Amino acid sequence: MDCQEVAEILDAYALGAAERSEGRGLEEHVGDCLRCWEELNKAQRTAALLALSLPVADAPDHLRERIMRKVASQGWWGRTIPVLLPRLRLARPMVASFAGVAVLGFAAFMQTEMSNLRGDNSALELKVARVDSDLEQARQVEAVLLAGDSQQVPINPASTTSGATGAYHWSAATGIGVIFLTNMPPLTWGSSYQAWFTFGDAAISAGTCFTVGGFCRFEVDLSVMSAPPDAVGISVEPLGGSGEPTGGWVMFAAVQERQQP
């Protein structure tokens, strides 16, 4: 089939009215011809618009209830994790670099603050101790990122309009996991972000965070988990945290543990 022959049947094909043999010839041709492929694409989009010309009637109420009941009976997990995994694999290198820069920047900031504080009067000693503690945490985070068995998954926001990004890094060798969140939307007074690890239908808390400049960090002692989690999720909870997630996930990632050699 040549371009002229294709031009004669592509509209019928787009409407689903071409005979089967004609359709096969067209499909073979457009596989190699960009111009005809584009024309077919336009014809298909034109055909797709036709359905929008119909007057719209209300669907029966009992149908809505039937569908909603079916949906409510579906399990929570089931298909979410396989759907997310390919995306996670694609985003890993970017998240690793982001997390590396974030941690090193944080460590440098802490070092500077430490220098400024040393030599100050005794009233600042408490602050020095706190910064020391933060610096130690930053070193732990660095250790996780630099560990030979370090693994990570990006944590994606539930809303496409959210600019939030996140990542969960962990290392069995150090026994530490770290969750980073950036560009998190400000919270209303009295609420905080809470991180969770899920295991089937159960969830354990990985701590709470009231963001500073949209940034949150959670350190996790992996020894509290007897098995790798299925997923990590972030929800909004009352300040101080909840016993179980009460809000929907605002950020979420399936966790797939890579087997260590």
Partner 1 sequence: MKMRDVSASEGVYGGLDDEELMQRLFYQDQQAFRTLYNRYGGLVYSTSLRVVRDAHIAEDMVQEIFLRIWRKPESYVAQRGRFATWLTSVTRNRCVDEIRSRKRRFRYEAPSPEEQERDPPGPEEDNPALTAELSDQRRLILAALADIPAEQRQIIELAYFRGLTQQEISDLLGQPLGTVKTRIRLGMQKLRTALTPELRWEAR
Which x/- pattern over 18-57 shows residues binding partner 1 (rule: CB under 8 A)?
xx---------------------xxx-xxxxxxxxxxxxx
Nearest distance from C-beta of residue 55 to partner 1, angstroms: 3
**Rounded CA separation 205/79 (Å):** 23
**Rounded CA separation 91/249 (Å):** 20
Nearer to partner 1, 106 or 249 (CB): 249
**Rounded CA separation 56/58 (Å):** 7
Q: Which of residues 82-141 bind partner 1 (CB under 8 A)?
A: 83-84
Q: What are phi and psi for residue 136, nearest 5 degrees?
A: -65, -40
245 binds partner 1 (CB under 8 A): yes
244 binds partner 1 (CB under 8 A): yes
Give the H or E element holding residue 130. helix 125-146
Nearest distance from C-beta of residue 241 to partner 1, angstroms: 15
197 binds partner 1 (CB under 8 A): no
**Rounded CA separation 137/107 (Å):** 9
- Written as six digits, the tokens of 171 are 């290392």
Nearer to partner 1, 80 or 256 (CB): 80
Strand intervals (E) in 104-246: 151-157, 165-171, 176-182, 191-199, 202-209, 216-221, 231-238
Which residues form the interface with partner 1 (CB under 8 A)?
8-9, 11-12, 14-19, 41-43, 45-60, 63-64, 66-68, 70-72, 74, 76, 79-80, 83-84, 158-161, 198, 201-203, 236, 244-249, 252
